Amino acid sequence: MNKNWSLFLFLLLISCFIISCQYSDDRIQDETDHKRTGKQESSLVTAQNTQEENRKNGSEQDGSWQSAYKNIVINSKYYLTDPYHLRGENGLNLWFYIGIHDFNDDTVPELILGDRISLSIFTYRNNTVEKVIDLYEPKGWYSINELHYTDNCLTLVSNGSDGSGYVCLTYRDGNYITGFHDVYMPAMSVLNGENTTYEEFKKIFHIENLAESSKISLIKMVIDKDELALELRDGESAVPLSKLNLEELTW
């Protein structure tokens, strides 16, 4: 009887030991699983925060109007007018005027894009880019030799042998105003397509104040690693358009 009782106690102790070991292993596995899950959740939150931060930073630097304007720049040959068919078969020039300026002071700047043939103004409204106007020299003057910006006004200058022709644009009292003056006809000018006197013209456009400091430089566009890039300054590497904050081109 004593032997049987001893054998029973021995088997009982062995069973308790096995159960204890199983419980300990399960507890260790549970703690390991919990730590692993916690790390995964932490990594997921970190990734989500990073994505959200990138999205916010992207929205601040590259807002919807920037993306839309960049698309216009990339596809410029489809948006810039060529009234005298001077651009050639592919419709492209390597040197461009490109700038950002809020003409109407509505906090959304306009895109100014063009070359020596024509200049176009684009605005962003209701999540859509709209062309405001095409500017170019009238027949007989053809090319744009200079572009000036001063006091919310653009002036395109075409130089002749004895004088110049001036195409102008500004924004006043809720409307865009265009003007043209030909030095070969000094007494006459044009405002919003209507003939007027030079005296009336110069009340709005002050072409006599144009200076070297108001002249806008052309920017060279290049392809860098299959991507459109801009050489903003002499001696500096081209900046990929996709990475450029267009506000750096504010006039």
**Is the model's pLDDT at 163 over the cut of 50?**
yes
> Are the C-beta atoms of residues 133 and 110 closer than 8 Å to each other?
no
Most confident of 1-5, 56-60, 189-193: 189-193
- Average of pLDDT values for 181-208? 96
Q: In this structure, how many other beta carbons lie within 10 angstroms of the beta carbon of residue 113?
A: 22
- pTM of the entire structure? 0.74
Distance in angstroms between the alpha carbons of the first and the last residue of the chain = 106
Which phi and psi angles does 143 have, rounded to 5°? -90, 160
- Distance CA(219)–CA(229), nearest Å, equals 10
At residue 183, the 3 state secondary structure works out as coil
**Is the model's pLDDT at 168 over the cut of 60?**
yes
pLDDT 10s digits, 16-61: 444 444 444 444 454 444 444 333 333 322 322 333 343 344 434 4
Q: 149 or 88: whose pLDDT is higher?
A: 149
pLDDT 10s digits, 61-89: 445 999 999 999 999 999 999 999 998 77
- Average of pLDDT values for 204-230? 94
Which tokens sit at 65? 């109007």
Query: What local confidence, expressed as pLDDT, does residue 32 receive?
Result: 46
The DSSP string of 94-149 is SEEEEEEE-TT-SSSPEEEEE-SS-EEEEEEETTEEEEEEEE-PPTTT-S--EEEE
Query: What local confidence, expressed as pLDDT, does residue 195 receive?
Result: 97
> Across-strand partners of 110?
101
Q: To the nearest whole percent, how much of the chain has pLDDT over 70?
A: 74
Q: To the nearest whole percent, how much of the chain has pLDDT over 90?
A: 65
CA 130 to chain centre: 15
Residue 171 DSSP class: E
Extents of the domains making up the chain = 64-249
Residue 185 DSSP class: S
